[in-house]
Amino acid sequence: MSQAIKERFYKGVKKHNLRMTKPRKAMVEVLDNKHLTFKEILKGMQDRGYLNVQTVYNTLYFLLDQKVVCESFFNDLKYYELSLTNQNHDANSHIHLIDTVDEGISIKEIYAPEIFEFIKNYDELRKFDIDSIKIVIEGKEK
Ligand SMILES: [Zn+2]
């Protein structure tokens, strides 16, 4: 994790009053800058010596609950990522670009706050209190 990201992350953690236990720290490192399935997280955690599936599961659900991590479905699979350090989106609002490459998928993000503004200000949505906006764009790079 870069120093700036680390600082921002721990500031966020402090604000949320989270106790960063060792497994929580390890999971943040595993997820840093990535979109991972549970299986991939488990592998990363096991590589770091956390062999107990239940511990990994509990740690993930704690971080999800605290909105440190968020989840999204891409290609029918659930992916997890850090939301606290991500400049491109928060836990609730993001735009993901799914490039369906031959072997699996590549997940990118677009930083486009003006798209969220456009949606929020759309006539029929103005009297609607929006909790989250999640956009998934699928395709192939030209
Ligand atoms: Zn993302």
Counts of helices then strands in the chain (DSSP H, E): 5, 5
Query: Are 92 and 131 contacting, i.e. CB atoms less than 8 angstroms apart?
Result: yes
H-helix or E-strand spanning residue 5: helix 3-15
Is residue 91 scored above 70 in pLDDT?
Answer: no
Question: What sign results for the dihedral spanned by CA atoms 96, 131, 60, 5?
Answer: positive
pLDDT in tens, 119-136: 989 999 988 888 888 899
Ion ligand 1: protein residues whose beta carbon lies under 5 Å: 81, 109
Query: Are 95 and 112 contacting, i.e. CB atoms less than 8 angstroms apart?
Result: yes
Interval between CA 81 and ligand 1 midpoint (Å) = 6
Interval between CA 89 and ligand 1 midpoint (Å) = 7
pLDDT in tens, 33-47: 899 999 999 999 999
Interval between CA 128 and ligand 1 midpoint (Å) = 25
Interval between CA 126 and ligand 1 midpoint (Å) = 26
Show the DSSP H helices in 16-128 as ranges: 22-31, 38-47, 53-65, 113-120
Residue 67 Ramachandran class (φ > 0 left, ψ -120 to 50 alpha, else beta): left
Interval between CA 24 and ligand 1 midpoint (Å) = 19
Rounded to two decimals, the pTM is 0.79
Q: Which residues pair with 93 in a beta bridge?
A: 133
CATH numbers and ranges of domains, the chain = 3-139 (1.10.10.10)
59-77 mean pLDDT: 89
Interval between CA 137 and ligand 1 midpoint (Å) = 12
pLDDT, greater one: 32 or 2: 32
Structure confidence at residue 23 as a pLDDT band (50, 70, 90) = very high
pLDDT at 116: 87
Give the CA dihedral 20, 26, 29, 30, nearest 10 degrees.
Answer: -140
By the 10 Å C-beta count (0-12 exposed, 13-18 middle, 19+ buried), 54 is classed as: exposed
Mean pLDDT, the chain, whole residue set: 85
Interval between CA 90 and ligand 1 midpoint (Å) = 9
